[in-house]
Structure 1
Amino acid sequence: MAKKQSLTMRSLHYYWLATRRHLGLFVALVASTIGFCGFLTYGNPYVMSLIVDRISAAPVAADEVFTVFGPYIAALIAINFAGQACSKLQDYTLWKLQIAVNYDLATTAFDCLCNQSLSFHSNRFGGTLVSQTSKFMAGYTQLLQTMNFPFLPILCSITFTCIILLPVVPVYAGVLMAMLAVYAMVSYLMYKRILHLNEKAASAQNQLSGELSDAVTNILAVKTYGREDYERGLFDTANREVVARDSKRMRASLARGVTTAAITVIIMSVVTVFISGGNAWFGITPGTVILMFTYTNTVTNQFNFINTGLQRINQAFGDASGMTAVLDEPRLVADKPGARPLSVELGDIDFKGINFWYTDGDVKTQVFNDFNLSIPAGQRVGLVGMSGAGKTTLTKLLLRLADIQEGEILVDGQNVADVTQTSLRRQIAYVPQEALLFHRSIAENIAYGRPDATMDEIREAARAANALEFIEALPQGFDTITGERGIKLSGGQRQRIAIARAMLADCPILVLDEATSALDSESEAAVQEALSNLMEGRTCIVVAHRLSTVASLDRIVVLSHGRIAEDGPHAELVAKGGDYARLWNRQTGAYGEE
């Protein structure tokens, strides 16, 4: 329970950080709500009680109505004008505050997700993170509206009732406040008992969103393998869990509602006795009797909304809990305080004494142990080896998509851990094995690394990547929307757009991770020529399984189990007859001659 409460307090912390940026709006909202409640709910009955007492005191002649009741009429008009003004101000500040704070909360969540490490995202459903962000924002809106009604009006009701009735009927006011305190205490205790149910319900909803996202994202695999029924089974299981947890929350809330309703009946019974005998026992005037009933009825009616309000608060904190936990997670890869921008003039790369391992739960998987590799500026280096040898991991460490545990990675003598991640990655053009495209136009995707590029420059990059012909054949050309993750294009087309993006970025360091793996032989030959031109004068790291893509490079490094097994030019390694030669022979068919 302590952990649950801590998560609730952390959610409040993030909500308050965003709210205090707009403190003026928040104060205006509270003040207008108090004014609205005070003027219309308590001011009007109070003046009416004075009118009733005046009528009860002595008859008023027809020609004296405005003389006698003029001040009361003026007071009622002023009270209603002020109350309506507060009501409109309340509407404005509530909407304005919700809009402003939700903008800040969305920005906070987006920044957090974008700045988290790659391992963070690899262990989570993308759809779940999107759902948690939406619920985090919705939670604030619900919390603010619940504060605005019913809880702030309830506090106002208690305060105004005490101020007005306590001097007139102190015994009644005391008894009423005592019963209301019992009501509030019972509601709160029952609220604490079901707090965890809302977080479990929110967790089930997030899991449901994740299952839906996973199936939709991989819909091609679902359909081509005929697994619609299987995915529906997974979704149905998650959906039934949502129903079960929501039902449990509903039953607990209804039980709380029945209990508090019984207390309300007791309160109104006591009120009826006091009102009936008020004049006989305490000499209470008719106007005061009206005040007692009106104010008590108002308070108890508003207290009826405590259950609904607490349920909404429960749901709000439950919805916020997922993103709150994400916001509280430490960044596995973070800039050091005072990190400076990376400045690259040559492009030397040095891996010195690298120790790196993955941790999955309690299992530690060592990838590199005292690994050393030096790449002089302008050298084109191929990384080859069996799957799991550490080729792609090495490029991710260079890009600081994960942090090493020991050692250092230097670019032009600057430790990448001491520079800003943004400046590091803007100096490295990276083309991954699976092309990463946005649901935007082809032109926007190509210019992603250099958004200020002209259309002529975008076109030239596409031509150099052997992509211009198929792009211009599309009905909308460069304005064609690629679809989510580039789904509207073939694998080879997506890869060529990614290569065009790297060409346009024109970075001093180039990293190609199986960049030509999705190309047919004819396209590969054309792109290889373009890549050769792109590599000229740049430090290049090329990860490849197809050795034909690295045979012409200056140097080839063969990795095996996170260590360098061989290192040298293609011809030298083939002549040596080691691991590289065996791989080369298998791929070229030369092994049959051995």
Structure 2
Amino acid sequence: MVRWFESLVDIFAQPGEGMPPRGVWRFYWHYLRQVRGILLWACVLGFFGALVEVALFEFLGRLIDLAGNTPPADFFRAHGRELAWMAFVALVARPVLFVLHDLLVNQSLVPGLTARIRWQQHHYVVRQSLSFFQNDYAGRIANRIMQTGAALRQSAVQVVDAIWHVLIYTGSALVLFAEADPWLMLPLALWLVGYVALLAYFVPRTKQRSWLASQARSRFMGRVVDGYTNIATLKLFPHDGREDAYVAEAVADNAAKVRAMTRLTTAMDFSITALNGVLIASTCGLALWLWSRSAITLGAVALSTGLVIRINNMSGWIMWVVNGIFEDIGTVQDGMETVAKPRAVQDHADAQPLQVTRGEVRFEDIHFHYGKQGGVIAGLDLVVGPGEKIGLVGPSGAGKSTLVNVLLRLYDLEGGRILIDGQDIAAVTQESLRGRIGVVTQDTSLLHRSIRDNLLYGRPDASDAQLQAAVRSARADGFIPDLVDGEGRTGYDATVGERGVKLSGGQRQRIAIARVLLKDAPILVLDEATSALDSEVEAAIQDSLDTLMRGKTVIAIAHRLSTIARMDRLVVMDQGRIVETGTHAELVARDGLYARLWARQTGGFVGAA
């Protein structure tokens, strides 16, 4: 039965590809509507559970009256059926209602809904544009996703539970008090007004301060994770005091925001405790006075006293629950600021998969500035023929890597278009576009997974023979068998550490080259692909790169000009424009920018024509 309740929420259900709504309540409903049936049943069970709780107090008052009005010898005979019904409610109905409610909450909603929200938010966020992740801490983004799922689920469940306890207890108490004597309603009615006033005062302030505390907590988490992610830099630059101060600032800010929030909770707790004391004293005193005047029975005194003590205990709990609900709402609001953002780069509704038959790449009057003033690329035209191999050359900041980024559609153009075999890349799916382009970059970071997992990212269905062939071609077979990770896994099963930090730069680069060899895409981009390799290793894998490039359209970037000197054509860029084009020999003879760049370098392993 427990497993059945656990299966009610499908963790990996998808609500659609659209952006989660921005408004707090619409953001809640976006996720809660997916489990509205379970929430409704939890609400119904909570309703009847609260009724049973109140009924027990009514039974207590009635029991006292029955005992006072019936001779002991006749008590069970006269009231046996009523006593049996009381026993059934206490022994069977109440446990069943509460167990079913707990199963729905603890087995279905707590693990299932929390996990579903986190999965759906991750599914949306991981498809954000590159700029989204460049503008925030990775740790803060992850922290907000983790917090938002738990806070949203917890506040929703608490609302379901709290509503019925407030409505049923106070409503039933007022009805029962009115039946005994209308005057008994007065203290509870006045208390209810004061209680609502306290809620109205404290809750909005708690929500605001909770939101500020959540922001400060996320900032603290982001700074800590940033330091851990770049621990090598922290070790290389001995500024422990400076780094401590940087993190301490976030710790202090978080503590200050939390203190501001807890001041409110302390004041709220004192206020509700004082108000409850007035309720108990006034209700008990009034009940005893009415009993002394024979206006109510002794059972009514027991009922009213028991109920107000229960309401006293419950009101403190409700206040903390409501306070917690709005703390959670503040956390959800903080998370929403990160999660509910439109994707800067999106597929069109009618986007089709890219079909690469020849491999022609055409840049037509493209403009892109990274949102800055001034031009990075402005009005560039370039045609790379099918199977042609071009080298992009130019000083730093000329726009070479930017050209590659817009080809991969990591950013959308601000003007112009890019065509692959006549298909505008803005009109095809991003997945198919990047699936047909193999890329080896200068800064290769690997996933914190095994060597095998990293290689198979190139082609998940590759056979062991294909994987081994790619590794040999990339000259990575010499070091992989000797790898051992901290848990004793070796070779292809060894993990590489975060961003591949357990490997040298050259080893990471060879894994990246093997991965692209395995991918075998028709268009190839080499962005400083051999920059992390020493000359001996670079020479060893040059034949493999030649094999990799055979029959493909290739765009290669290199500051070390000797590595691209024998490309079919060299394209020289400066300030986002093409200033020269031709073969290596032609450009050297022209004595322009390329010739000046070449003159500064001594050449390398590639023979220049």
TM-score tier by shorter-chain length is over 0.9
Given residue 184 of structure 1, which amino acid in structure 2 is its aligned partner?
A: V
Deviation at 1:397, TM superposition (A): 0.5
What is the alpha-carbon distance in structure 2 between the residues aligned to residue 276 and residue 366 of structure 1?
Answer: 86
What is the alpha-carbon distance in structure 1 between the residues aligned to residue 49 and residue 200 of structure 2?
Answer: 26
Given residue 120 of structure 2, which amino acid in structure 1 is its aligned partner?
A: T
Q: Is it true that 1:51 corresponds to 2:74 in the alignment?
A: no
Given residue 35 of structure 2, which amino acid in structure 1 is its aligned partner?
A: H
Structure 2 match to 1:85: 96
Structure 1 match to 2:131: 119
Q: Is it true that 1:128 corresponds to 2:147 in the alignment?
A: no
Structure 2 match to 1:559: 573
Deviation at 1:33, TM superposition (A): 2.0
Q: Is it true that 1:308 corresponds to 2:320 in the alignment?
A: yes
SS at match of 1:449: coil
The structure-2 alpha-carbon separation of the partners of 1:138 and 1:370, relative to structure 1 and needing over 3 Å to count, comes to same
Q: Please identify, of 163-172 and 436-445, the stretch whose mean Cα deviation from structure 2 is larger.
A: 163-172
Deviation at 1:36, TM superposition (A): 2.3
What is the alpha-carbon distance in structure 1 between the residues aligned to residue 507 and residue 118 of structure 2?
Answer: 34
SS at match of 1:564: strand
Structure 1 match to 2:468: 459
Structure 1 match to 2:85: 75
From 471, 480, 488, the equivalent of 2:494 is 480
Deviation at 1:281, TM superposition (A): 5.0
Deviation at 1:174, TM superposition (A): 5.1
Q: Is it true that 1:319 corresponds to 2:328 in the alignment?
A: no
What is the alpha-carbon distance in structure 2 between the residues aligned to residue 44 and residue 272 of structure 1?
Answer: 19
For each residue in 1:431-462, what CA deviation from the matched residue of structure 2 results, as whole angstroms up to 9, or x when unmatched?
A: 12111211111111011021111111111111
Q: Please identify, of 313-322 and 110-119, the stretch whose mean Cα deviation from structure 2 is larger.
A: 313-322
* Contact 1:8/1:321 (<8 A) preserved: no
What is the alpha-carbon distance in structure 1 between the residues aligned to residue 456 and residue 542 of structure 2?
Answer: 21
Given residue 287 of structure 1, which amino acid in structure 2 is its aligned partner?
A: G
SS at match of 2:72: coil
**1:18-417 to 2 correspondence within 5 Å?**
18-39=31-52, 41-61=53-73, 64-80=74-90, 81-95=92-106, 96-173=108-185, 175-280=187-292, 283-359=295-371, 364-417=373-426
Q: Is it true that 1:511 corresponds to 2:511 in the alignment?
A: no
What is the alpha-carbon distance in structure 1 between the residues aligned to residue 386 and residue 168 of structure 2?
Answer: 72
**TM-score normalised according to structure 2 size:** 0.91
* Contact 2:39/2:160 (<8 A) preserved: no
For each residue in 1:391-428, what CA deviation from the matched residue of structure 2 results, as whole angstroms up to 9, or x when unmatched?
A: 11111101111111111111111111111111111111
The structure-2 alpha-carbon separation of the partners of 1:571 and 1:9, relative to structure 1 and needing over 3 Å to count, comes to closer
The structure-2 alpha-carbon separation of the partners of 1:166 and 1:554, relative to structure 1 and needing over 3 Å to count, comes to farther
Structure 1 match to 2:536: 522
* Contact 2:158/2:321 (<8 A) preserved: yes
Deviation at 1:326, TM superposition (A): 1.8
What is the alpha-carbon distance in structure 2 between the residues aligned to residue 143 and residue 356 of structure 1?
Answer: 44
**TM-score normalised according to structure 1 size:** 0.93
Q: Please identify, of 184-193 and 12-21, the stretch whose mean Cα deviation from structure 2 is larger.
A: 12-21
What is the alpha-carbon distance in structure 1 between the residues aligned to residue 180 and residue 416 of structure 2?
Answer: 79
SS at match of 2:457: helix
Name the count of aligned residue pairs.
Answer: 578
The structure-2 alpha-carbon separation of the partners of 1:176 and 1:456, relative to structure 1 and needing over 3 Å to count, comes to same
For each residue in 1:59-81, what CA deviation from the matched residue of structure 2 results, as whole angstroms up to 9, or x when unmatched?
A: 232xx332222122211222121
Given residue 379 of structure 2, which amino acid in structure 1 is its aligned partner?
A: D
Deviation at 1:497, TM superposition (A): 0.3
What is the alpha-carbon distance in structure 1 between the residues aligned to residue 157 and residue 143 of structure 2?
Answer: 21
Deviation at 1:149, TM superposition (A): 4.8
Q: Is it true that 1:17 corresponds to 2:25 in the alignment?
A: no
For each residue in 1:336-364, what CA deviation from the matched residue of structure 2 results, as whole angstroms up to 9, or x when unmatched?
A: 112111111111111111111122xxx53
The structure-2 alpha-carbon separation of the partners of 1:8 and 1:384, relative to structure 1 and needing over 3 Å to count, comes to closer
Q: Please identify, of 154-163 and 232-241, the stretch whose mean Cα deviation from structure 2 is larger.
A: 154-163
Given residue 496 of structure 1, which amino acid in structure 2 is its aligned partner?
A: R
Deviation at 1:151, TM superposition (A): 4.5
Given residue 347 of structure 1, which amino acid in structure 2 is its aligned partner?
A: G
SS at match of 2:71: coil
Deviation at 1:430, TM superposition (A): 1.4
Q: Is it true that 1:435 corresponds to 2:444 in the alignment?
A: yes
* Contact 2:47/2:164 (<8 A) preserved: yes
SS at match of 2:438: strand
For each residue in 1:152-190, what CA deviation from the matched residue of structure 2 results, as whole angstroms up to 9, or x when unmatched?
A: 422321232234333443342255234213212222222
What is the alpha-carbon distance in structure 2 between the residues aligned to residue 365 and residue 203 of structure 1?
Answer: 34
Deviation at 1:19, TM superposition (A): 2.3
* Contact 1:508/1:538 (<8 A) preserved: yes
From 548, 568, 581, the equivalent of 1:534 is 548
Given residue 38 of structure 1, which amino acid in structure 2 is its aligned partner?
A: L
SS at match of 2:268: helix
SS at match of 2:318: helix
Identity of aligned residues (%): 34
SS at match of 2:601: helix
Structure 2 match to 1:4: none
Given residue 37 of structure 1, which amino acid in structure 2 is its aligned partner?
A: A
SS at match of 1:468: coil
What is the alpha-carbon distance in structure 1 between the residues aligned to residue 373 and residue 208 of structure 2?
Answer: 33
Given residue 102 of structure 2, which amino acid in structure 1 is its aligned partner?
A: D
SS at match of 2:369: strand
SS at match of 1:466: coil
What is the alpha-carbon distance in structure 2 between the residues aligned to residue 163 and residue 530 of structure 1?
Answer: 86
Structure 1 match to 2:514: 500
The structure-2 alpha-carbon separation of the partners of 1:57 and 1:208, relative to structure 1 and needing over 3 Å to count, comes to same
* Contact 1:431/1:513 (<8 A) preserved: yes
Given residue 22 of structure 1, which amino acid in structure 2 is its aligned partner?
A: V
Deviation at 1:15, TM superposition (A): 3.1
What is the alpha-carbon distance in structure 1 between the residues aligned to residue 178 and residue 407 of structure 2?
Answer: 73
Structure 1 match to 2:6: none
Structure 2 portions without partners, runs of 5+: 1-19, 485-489, 605-609
SS at match of 2:359: coil
What is the alpha-carbon distance in structure 2 between the residues aligned to residue 238 and residue 8 of structure 1?
Answer: 30
Deviation at 1:503, TM superposition (A): 0.7
What is the alpha-carbon distance in structure 2 between the residues aligned to residue 272 and residue 164 of structure 1?
Answer: 15
For each residue in 1:522-572, what CA deviation from the matched residue of structure 2 results, as whole angstroms up to 9, or x when unmatched?
A: 111122221111111111111111111111111111110100011111111
* Contact 2:130/2:410 (<8 A) preserved: yes
Q: Please identify, of 256-265 and 376-385, the stretch whose mean Cα deviation from structure 2 is larger.
A: 256-265
* Contact 2:187/2:283 (<8 A) preserved: no
What is the alpha-carbon distance in structure 2 between the residues aligned to residue 177 and residue 376 of structure 1?
Answer: 84
Given residue 110 of structure 1, which amino acid in structure 2 is its aligned partner?
A: H
The structure-2 alpha-carbon separation of the partners of 1:552 and 1:180, relative to structure 1 and needing over 3 Å to count, comes to same
Given residue 364 of structure 1, which amino acid in structure 2 is its aligned partner?
A: Q
Decide which structure has greater helix share: 1
What is the alpha-carbon distance in structure 2 between the residues aligned to residue 377 and residue 344 of structure 1?
Answer: 10
